[in-house]
Amino acid sequence: MWPRSPPNHKEWQGSGTTAHFGDIVLGRCYTYTQIVRPELRDKDCQKIQEVFLKSFLSKDPCDATEQDYQPLIELANQTVPCNKTVFWSKTKELAHQYTRVQQALFTLENTLLGYIADDLSWCGDSGSSEINYQSCPTRRDNCSSNPVSVFWNTVSKRFAEDACGVVHVVLNGSLNEAFDRRSTFGRVEIHNLHPKKVHTLQAWVMHDIGGVRSDSCSSSSIRDLKSIISERNITFTCQNNYRPVRFLQCVKNPEHPSCTSGI
């Protein structure tokens, strides 16, 4: 009756493809190219949707590769101006709040591909041309080469390779290690900056208001980051609680002492 697994059987431990994945991809593509960045209005969103689906459908979801996403990356290609790239690690919301105000700045989610894929899940199956809405593999399934992880690794790498001038990173100083070598930022992005194009990495180590001040510019994890960056002949600078970003945190905590006096 069921040649492989019955339709409700959860093959993998992760949640399945986001419901209406194809429509969301198409809708986000139009929103981005027609409204958010109309300079990209000539992008072909139908084609982008089709190529995105092709990058993972009918393929083993534990064997996704960078090459799977090359056609999509070519189609969605976009130039981020020099000095405008913002990386983040464990500070996604804050970094996005900041680039929402400073619209000239770009996190990966402020580019077309990141905007389309943000917070979505997707996977297919080698034995079928259908989207798997039941479950998708994760690292818990011993499957690090799943379509979503490989996508973020691939587009993060490209985002870093394309950066130029001064680049920025928002780090979380309320964690034990604001810089984590195993994060996408530590594993992929810093190693793919081109020293000939990127002269400075500016780190902003932000502490949660009312949270602990675990890590700061003078800590060992940041020294670690500094040495990796310096060895690559890129200048490293670091600021704790960079004021323009601190002000955003203060919107939610206006009475906190660190918001009422000098920070």
* Smallest distance, ligand N1C to C-beta of residue 188, A: 7
Structure tokens at 189: 């992005």
Give the count of beta carbons closer than 10 Å to the beta carbon of residue 186. Answer: 18
Judged by CB under 6 A, the stretch of 107-115, 192-200, 208-216, 250-258 that binds ligand N1C is: 107-115
Q: Tell which residue, 64, 62, 68, has the closest CA to residue 143.
A: 62
Closer of 208 and 259 to ligand N1C (Cβ): 208
DSSP letter (8 states) at residue 44: -
State which of positions 139-198 bind ligand N1C (CB under 6 A): 148, 152, 156, 159, 183-185, 189
Rule CB under 6 A: is residue 204 a binding residue for ligand N1C?
no
End-to-end alpha carbon distance in the chain: 67
Q: Tell which residue, 170, 165, 237, 157, has the closest CA to residue 206.
A: 170
Q: How far apart are CA 258 and CA 132, in angstroms?
A: 48
CB 164 within 8 A of CB 37: no
Give the count of beta carbons closer than 10 Å to the beta carbon of residue 102. Answer: 13
Closer of 92 and 199 to ligand N1C (Cβ): 92
Helix/strand/coil for 169: strand
Rule CB under 6 A: is residue 208 a binding residue for ligand N1C?
no
Judged by CB under 6 A, the stretch of 11-19, 33-41, 81-89, 225-233 that binds ligand N1C is: 81-89
Q: 221: buried, middle or exposed (CB in 10 Å: 19+, 13-18, 0-12)?
A: buried
CB 30 within 8 A of CB 146: no
Rule CB under 6 A: is residue 56 a binding residue for ligand N1C?
no
* Smallest distance, ligand N1C to C-beta of residue 85, A: 9
* Smallest distance, ligand N1C to C-beta of residue 255, A: 29
Closer of 2 and 97 to ligand N1C (Cβ): 97
Residue-wise DSSP of 53-80: HHHHTTS-TT---GGGGHHHHHHT--PP
What is the enclosing helix (H) or strand (E) of 237?
strand 235-240
Closer of 152 and 263 to ligand N1C (Cβ): 152
State which of positions 108-127 bind ligand N1C (CB under 6 A): 108-109, 114, 118
Task: Identify residue 111 by its one-letter amino acid code.
Answer: T
Residues forming the active site: 82, 164
* Smallest distance, ligand N1C to C-beta of residue 132, A: 17
* Smallest distance, ligand N1C to C-beta of residue 148, A: 6
| The one among 52, 56, 88, 179 contacting ligand N1C by CB under 6 A | 88
* Smallest distance, ligand N1C to C-beta of residue 98, A: 13
Interface with ligand N1C by CB under 6 A: which residues?
Answer: 87-90, 92, 108-109, 114, 118, 148, 152, 156, 159, 183-185, 189
